[in-house]
A and B are shown apart, each in its own frame.
Chain A
Amino acid sequence: MNYFPWLTIIVFLPISAGSLLFFLPHKGNKLIKWYTICICILELLLTTYAFCYHFRLDDPLIQLAEDYKWINFFDFYWRLGIDGLSIGPILLTGFITTLATLAAWPVTRDSRLFHFLMLAMYSGQIGSFSSRDLLLFFIMWEFELIPVYLLLSMWGGKKRLYSATKFILYTAGGSVFLLIGVLGLGLYGSNEPTLNFETLANQSYPVALEIIFYIGFLIAFAVKSPIIPLHTWLPDTHGEAHYSTCMLLAGILLKMGAYGLVRINMELLPHAHSIFSPWLIIVGTMQIIYAASTSLGQRNLKKRIAYSSVSHMGFIIIGIGSITDTGLNGAILQIISHGFIGAALFFLAGTSYDRMRLVYLDEMGGMAVSIPKIFTMFSILSMASLALPGMSGFVAELIVFFGIITSQKYFLMPKILITFVMAIGMILTPIYSLSMSRQMFYGYKLFNAPSSYFFDSGPRELFVSISIFLPVIGIGIYPDFVLSLSGEKVETILYNYFYR
């Protein structure tokens, strides 16, 4: 057994190293950037090392567990630990955050604060993915909102204050329900609060109470995930934010909602979940169609990508709602896969925005000649986003389809109907994503400005896009990379549904 507090170090390293940023000498932005990048890479390496040597894949239980008493009088523990469900998102967080920091290279305004906030977000996200205590989960969840809010409100487009306010109102509103749910679960039944996930997972509640808890958590996670009709903050926020923030939002933050849905709603409240799962599936299907057709009507490039991520999140919800081994595996794979693809698309949209300075799609056009590298990467990744075989999105969506088909819970007709409607989403996806790439790059255009010469992407941008592209194609060709991480845990979660 290993007693070295790996996870605590991993959680605390970015924020504590980030606070040192304020003590660095004022020697320009370069030092700050390099320092932040080094911290990010160090953190990623540390995470990978710890998981490589101290995490066993065949064990569905909590590993690298830590348990320190923190606040005595209401039994609040500092409990950390990871299992097959959380290892994927944690690694994704490390990867995307490092690349987002690299993508944020051109940020010069208040770069000290910016980079500190990035690192603070890093800590908060890893903290919430690795916490094993309900209240700690809530605290981490809230803690990570502050840097996001500041990032949104200080860097970005013209309407950034509006969108940041919208974001914080939505998520804070959701957090109220999360807090109610956390306290309700913790205080139910016994005199002293039980906040440990393991004990909670074995507890059973009256059905009515469980449904109430479930609704509370569902609202909180639906805001974050997002699930319609609580998604409206997302296009605004993505449309205005700086693209490195967008990468974090699309790559990690949205996945926290889905993660919470599996971790709390599915694992702790199985009865309510099996009652609610048909509704989840219906909502997920509607979301795929609705968001895909809304995306078509967007003029703003980033909003279009934002709606495409809403549409892709529908697959996760359906996978979670299908209550099958296959479906849940597909949902987890989609969490990882969309984390990469969404982040990469936002990054490429942002870099081409840096060059064109045009927001609306109908004003663009003919960029392929001047920026061929960005064009190539954008085409590849929009192909990945429309689930081309060989890319990770395809495998995830295919497995979700199988999850629905093999589900024991539903009858034939609803299954046919759901699959049919989901597959219509498959037709809508290429319409918006290919027309996006066509409007941006294809055709020709005369630029009136004399300085219409664009630089193609430099080595830094190329590095970022290629390093996102590699795992996308890697997972697409050999999906067992991710499936082997989560397989055992998924089986344990689903065991509850059939044998209890």
Chain B
Amino acid sequence: MWAFPNILLLSIVMIFSLDLSIQQINGSSIYQYVWSWTINNDFSFEFGYFIDSLTSIMSILITTVGIFVLIYSENYMSHDEGYLRFFAYMSLFNTSMLGLVTSCNLIQIYIFWELVGMCSYLLIGFWFTRPAAANACQKEFVTNRIGDFGLLLGILGFFWITGSFEFQDLFEIFNNLIYNNEVHFLFVTLCASLLFAGAVAKSAQFPLHVWLPDAMEGPTPISALIYAATMVAAGIFLVARLLPLFIVIPYIMNLISLIGIITVLLGATLALAQNDIKRGLAYSTMSQLGYMMSALGMGSYRAALFHLITHAYSKVLLFLASGSIIHSMEAIVGYSPEKSQNMVFMGGLRKHVPVTQIAFLVGTLSLCGIPPLACFWSKDEILSDSWLYSPIFAIIAWSTAGLTAFYMFRIYLLTFEGHLNVHFQKYSGKKSSSFYSIKLWGKEEQKIINRNFRLFPLLTLTMNNNEQPYTIGGKKEARITITNFGCKKAFSYPHESDNTMLFPMLILLLFTLFVGAIAIPFNQEGMHLDILSKLLTPSINL
């Protein structure tokens, strides 16, 4: 019940941000208001808000995704001890995220940036009795701190160059300086790449992506909210916000697109070989973020933001569906994430969880870029822009789109098709073998599970599946070992989740189906303008 005030307040914010974006579409202008925070003789910091089309897009994204995730987690977390704590953290996270996108100067960005990092620290460490979660949350914080280190130094460097934190002043002064050739080129490049390091850490780009898969230790709604839609988008947001700054420094744009394209390939190849359903989705998120980052580096601002929106809805849908699967698997295999999220045990879930299956399928199709769905439109734009930019990048981006389809369908098929493997684990002829594996190409017949094992050691993932009693709070978790497998009645099957969990998934499914429409040009009176272009035109000219 405590979710209700959260949802109510967030809906009010959503109405406001809808109103703002309608205003932005009609007569796009920039609103800015500042208060003074500290005034001293020598220095003063200001606090305020800065609203333009980018802000309105981001705030709509955050609030809609946030509301659905809150509704979803009402049910998902209802039996958890930390139910209240969960919603408190979620609200704190939403607040800091909204603060981040409305900030008017770099100091404020930094403040909310850190707060977002802290919230995700708290949320990953939500189940703090799990040692894996404890390690993962610290890893997340420290990795993000490395990014913050760069961000702070970059902010200080640009303050030293221009003497201002306010975006508009900063861009103006900086452009003048560049125009008059008054800046030290190397220093500017250094500062800009340091600023970019902040975005790299937050958006899980190549060198600092290490925290993202571990962050899946948190509850699934959190993975959906933070690591699919909002927090990882913060890095994209920062680069998009500072694009007028980056665009005048030549090498930075190349660096951004290079990092982006490396991440695209790396994320996709890592996602190919995951056993854990959430980790697979996490690496796929990383790869898609790489698309956005490289699009920003190529200068196609519009395509990047469009992909941000479409990907956010599709990926939230996928995460919520996977949460629903995990929820229903937990009842059978036990509450250890190593089991309930493991695709080894899944399979054939199509019969048992039909609604979730449809949602997951639509998300998968969208992410693969099948035409009428959301991600098709945006990915298409990015791919065509990348052809114009550089053929090598385009080939990588292109082939990775194929890989995306491969790994997404691998996840989908392993989960929903075939037979439910929980009950078959003892049927395997090699009962004594301690290894259990899924091939890259999916599960083979259970009897020949180890036949080709030595041939493809690199392609094969192994997991040590037995004899490690998992303990929480000192109590031995009851491990599910089905001893009486002769008796079919003893088998329990996964059930579909409750309606409160299915409802947000269905709404998000609609979003996934139709959100691509915002960039489809409607021909009205000879004007080839779609909503997104209308929204984004002034920002490009900034």
Q: Are B471 and A438 in contact (CB under 8 A)?
A: no
Does B152 lie at the interface of the complex (its beta carbon under 8 Å from any beta carbon of A)?
yes
Q: A389-B114, A427-B146 are in contact. Are A325 and B42 (CB under 8 A)?
A: yes
Chain A positions within 8 Å of B38 at CB level: 395, 478-480, 483
Q: Are A324 and B129 in contact (CB under 8 A)?
A: no
Q: Are B40 and A483 in contact (CB under 8 A)?
A: yes
Q: How far is the CA of A91 from the CA of B138 in the complex (A)?
A: 36
Q: Are A444 and B43 in contact (CB under 8 A)?
A: no
> Min CB distance, B202 to chain A, in Å?
15
Does B145 lie at the interface of the complex (its beta carbon under 8 Å from any beta carbon of A)?
yes
Q: Are B153 and A419 in contact (CB under 8 A)?
A: yes
Q: Write the A38-49 contact mask toward B (1 if CB under 8 angstroms, else 0).
A: 000000000000
Tell me the chain B residues, 85-138 only, with Cβ under 8 Å from chain A. 107, 110-112, 114-115, 118, 121, 125, 128-131, 133-135, 138
Q: Are B141 and A434 in contact (CB under 8 A)?
A: yes
Chain B positions within 8 Å of A278 at CB level: none
Q: How far is the CA of A450 from the CA of B146 in the complex (A)?
A: 44
Chain A positions within 8 Å of B111 at CB level: 389-390, 394
Does A31 lie at the interface of the complex (its beta carbon under 8 Å from any beta carbon of B)?
no
Does A329 lie at the interface of the complex (its beta carbon under 8 Å from any beta carbon of B)?
yes
> Min CB distance, B343 to chain A, in Å?
27
Chain B positions within 8 Å of A424 at CB level: 149
Does B160 lie at the interface of the complex (its beta carbon under 8 Å from any beta carbon of A)?
yes
Q: How far is the CA of A426 from the CA of B147 in the complex (A)?
A: 11
Tell me the chain A residues, 420-467 only, with Cβ under 8 Å from chain B. 420, 423-424, 426-427, 430-431, 434-435, 438, 441-446
Does A383 lie at the interface of the complex (its beta carbon under 8 Å from any beta carbon of B)?
yes
Q: Are A487 and B40 in contact (CB under 8 A)?
A: yes
Does A142 lie at the interface of the complex (its beta carbon under 8 Å from any beta carbon of B)?
no
Q: Are A329 and B114 in contact (CB under 8 A)?
A: no
Does B518 lie at the interface of the complex (its beta carbon under 8 Å from any beta carbon of A)?
no
Interface centre among A329, A383, A389, A445 (most CB of B within 10 A): A389
Q: Which B residue sits closest to A401, measured CB to CB?
A: B156
Our pick among A426, A441, A444 for the contact of B149 (Cβ within 8 Å) is A426
Q: Are A445 and B474 in contact (CB under 8 A)?
A: yes
Q: How far is the CA of A324 from the CA of B43 in the complex (A)?
A: 11
Q: How far is the CA of A438 from the CA of B37 in the complex (A)?
A: 34
Query: For chain B, what secondary structure do more than half of its interface residues adopt (helix, strand, loop), or is it mixed?
Result: helix
Q: Are B115 and A426 in contact (CB under 8 A)?
A: no
Does B4 lie at the interface of the complex (its beta carbon under 8 Å from any beta carbon of A)?
no
Q: Are A325 and B40 in contact (CB under 8 A)?
A: yes
Chain B positions within 8 Å of A283 at CB level: none
Chain A positions within 8 Å of B39 at CB level: 480
Chain A positions within 8 Å of B130 at CB level: 443
Chain B positions within 8 Å of A441 at CB level: 128
Q: A389-B110, A426-B145, A431-B142 are in contact. Are A420 and B153 (CB under 8 A)?
A: yes
Q: A389-B111, A438-B138 are in contact. Are A402 and B128 (CB under 8 A)?
A: no
By the criterion of a CB under 8 Å from any partner CB, how many residues of chain A are at the interface? 44
Q: How far is the CA of A390 from the CA of B107 in the complex (A)?
A: 12
Does A368 lie at the interface of the complex (its beta carbon under 8 Å from any beta carbon of B)?
yes
Q: Are A443 and B42 in contact (CB under 8 A)?
A: no
Q: How far is the CA of A420 from the CA of B160 in the complex (A)?
A: 14
Query: For chain A, what secondary structure do more than half of its interface residues adopt (helix, strand, loop), or is it mixed?
Result: helix
Chain B positions within 8 Å of A434 at CB level: 121, 138, 141-142
Q: How far is the CA of A383 from the CA of B142 in the complex (A)?
A: 12
Q: Write the A476-494 contact mask toward B (1 if CB under 8 angstroms, else 0).
A: 0011100100010001000
Does A369 lie at the interface of the complex (its beta carbon under 8 Å from any beta carbon of B)?
yes
Does B159 lie at the interface of the complex (its beta carbon under 8 Å from any beta carbon of A)?
yes
Q: Which A residue sits closest to B474, measured CB to CB?
A: A446
> Min CB distance, A1 to chain B, in Å?
28
Interface centre among A368, A416, A446 (most CB of B within 10 A): A416
Does A215 lie at the interface of the complex (its beta carbon under 8 Å from any beta carbon of B)?
no
Q: Are A368 and B156 in contact (CB under 8 A)?
A: no
> Min CB distance, B322 to chain A, in Å?
26
Q: How far is the CA of A430 from the CA of B125 in the complex (A)?
A: 15
Q: Are B110 and A443 in contact (CB under 8 A)?
A: no
Chain B positions within 8 Å of A420 at CB level: 153
Q: Are B40 and A444 in contact (CB under 8 A)?
A: no
Q: Which A residue sits closest to B111, measured CB to CB?
A: A389
Chain B positions within 8 Å of A480 at CB level: 38-39
Chain B positions within 8 Å of A430 at CB level: 138, 141-142, 145
> Min CB distance, A306 to chain B, in Å?
21
Does A8 lie at the interface of the complex (its beta carbon under 8 Å from any beta carbon of B)?
no
Does A90 lie at the interface of the complex (its beta carbon under 8 Å from any beta carbon of B)?
no
Q: A405-B160, A443-B134 are in contact. Are A368 and B129 (CB under 8 A)?
A: yes
Interface centre among A329, A426, A442 (most CB of B within 10 A): A442
Q: Are A427 and B156 in contact (CB under 8 A)?
A: no
Q: Are B42 and A326 in contact (CB under 8 A)?
A: yes
> Min CB distance, B541 to chain A, in Å?
32
Q: Are B473 and A402 in contact (CB under 8 A)?
A: no
Q: Are A405 and B153 in contact (CB under 8 A)?
A: no
Chain A positions within 8 Å of B141 at CB level: 430, 434
Q: How far is the CA of A426 from the CA of B142 in the complex (A)?
A: 10
Q: Are B43 and A442 in contact (CB under 8 A)?
A: no
Chain A positions within 8 Å of B134 at CB level: 438, 442-443
Does B74 lie at the interface of the complex (its beta carbon under 8 Å from any beta carbon of A)?
no
> Min CB distance, B211 to chain A, in Å?
13
Q: Which B residue sits closest to A328, measured CB to CB?
A: B42
Q: Are B146 and A444 in contact (CB under 8 A)?
A: no
Chain A positions within 8 Å of B142 at CB level: 427, 430-431, 434
> Min CB distance, B111 to chain A, in Å?
4
Task: Please name 17 further chain A to chain B contacts, defined as beta carbons within 8 Å, in addition to the given A423-B153, A434-B138, A443-B130, sorted by A numbering.
Answer: A325-B43, A366-B129, A368-B129, A388-B114, A399-B43, A401-B152, A405-B160, A423-B152, A424-B149, A431-B138, A431-B142, A438-B138, A443-B131, A444-B471, A444-B472, A444-B473, A483-B40
Could you tell me which A residues sit within 8 Å of B by CB distance? 324-326, 329, 366, 368-369, 383, 388-390, 394-395, 398-399, 401-402, 405-406, 412, 416, 419-420, 423-424, 426-427, 430-431, 434-435, 438, 441-446, 478-480, 483, 487, 491
Task: Jot down 7 A-B pairs with beta carbons below 8 A, ordered by A.
Answer: A388-B118, A402-B156, A424-B149, A434-B138, A434-B141, A438-B138, A487-B40
The 10 closest A-B pairs by CB, nearest first: A442-B134, A389-B111, A325-B42, A446-B474, A444-B129, A443-B131, A442-B128, A389-B114, A434-B138, A438-B134
